[in-house]
């Protein structure tokens, strides 16, 4: 490093110093369907539905096939699993019978919806109409009342990105936030 100044340059250098050249797959997986998903509610720590449990079993079969090593007598390759501490993510992860123990990280938990946690989008619209408009205007920077913004979440997950990059084994991340970032 030479003449590195400023936040962005420092972040880029930090990321580059953690790169390695070993290729390995990285899977970002959404948790199985939760009770709150069926009720169109935000946040919460809901259990999986029957469909969510079935999804977790199918996910296990997929990864069993994906990580089985024909060269080692059909044994499973080591895998690194990161998951949120939310019930729905833990239940999805617990269905994975692989060669690796999950690492449970609060950093991967869902965006904190603050006062809107556990409410449906219709309930939020009735109780907080101005908040709904503010969120529509700038979803990235919008912060729920006494909650988080997506920018907060991005800042929160930065250490996980570096940990994933340092890992040489295949990686599975069972994550709630990916759906929030792309579907809502």
The answer on pLDDT for 122 being more than 90 is yes
Cβ neighbours, 10 Å, residue 63: 21
Domain membership flag for residue 69: yes
What is the pLDDT at residue 179? Answer: 44
Q: Where are the beta strands (DSSP E) in the chain?
A: 26-30, 68-69, 75-76, 80-83, 102-104, 171-175
pLDDT tens column, 43-91: 889 999 999 999 999 999 999 999 987 777 778 999 999 999 999 999 9
Quote the mean pLDDT of the chain: 87
For helices 87-94 and 50-67, what crossing angle results, to 10°?
40
Domain membership flag for residue 51: yes
Domain membership flag for residue 13: no
In the block, which residue shows the tokens 């997929």? 62
What is the pLDDT at residue 23? Answer: 83
CATH number, domain containing residue 112: 3.40.50.1240
The answer on pLDDT for 149 being more than 50 is yes
* SS3 at position 26: strand
Domain membership flag for residue 99: yes
The answer on pLDDT for 159 being more than 90 is no
What is the pLDDT at residue 101? Answer: 93
Element (DSSP H or E) covering residue 64: helix 50-67
Domain membership flag for residue 121: yes
Give the global pTM.
0.82
Q: What is the mean pLDDT of residues 147-155?
A: 88
Structural domain range at position 113: 22-183
Pairing status of strand 171-175 against strand 68-69: unpaired
For the chain, what is the total number of helices (H) and then of strands (E)?
8, 6
What is the pLDDT at residue 9? Answer: 72
Total tally of structural domains belonging to the chain: 1
Compute the residue count for the chain: 184
Domain membership flag for residue 75: yes
In the block, which residue shows the tokens 């100044």? 5
Domain membership flag for residue 123: yes
Domain membership flag for residue 3: no
């Amino acid at each position: 490093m030479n003449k590195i100044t400023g936040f962005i340059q420092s972040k880029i250098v930090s990321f580059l110093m953690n790169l390695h050249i070993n290729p390995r797959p990285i899977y970002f997986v959404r948790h199985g369907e939760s009770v709150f998903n069926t009720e169109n509610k935000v946040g919460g720590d809901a259990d999986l539905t029957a469909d969510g449990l079935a999804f977790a079993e199918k996910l296990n079969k997929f990864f069993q096939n994906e990580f089985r090593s024909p060269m080692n007598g059909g044994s499973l390759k080591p895998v690194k699993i990161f998951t949120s501490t939310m019930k729905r993510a833990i239940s999805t992860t617990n269905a994975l019978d692989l060669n690796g123990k999950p690492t449970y990280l609060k950093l991967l938990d869902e965006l904190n919806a603050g006062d809107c946690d556990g409410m449906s989008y219709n309930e939020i619209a009735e109780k907080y109409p101005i908040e709904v408009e503010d969120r529509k205007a700038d979803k990235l920077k919008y912060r729920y009342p006494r909650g988080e913004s997506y920018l907060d979440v991005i800042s929160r997950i930065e250490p996980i990105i570096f940990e994933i990059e340092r890992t040489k084994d295949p990686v599975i991340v069972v994550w709630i936030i990916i759906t929030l970032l792309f579907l809502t």
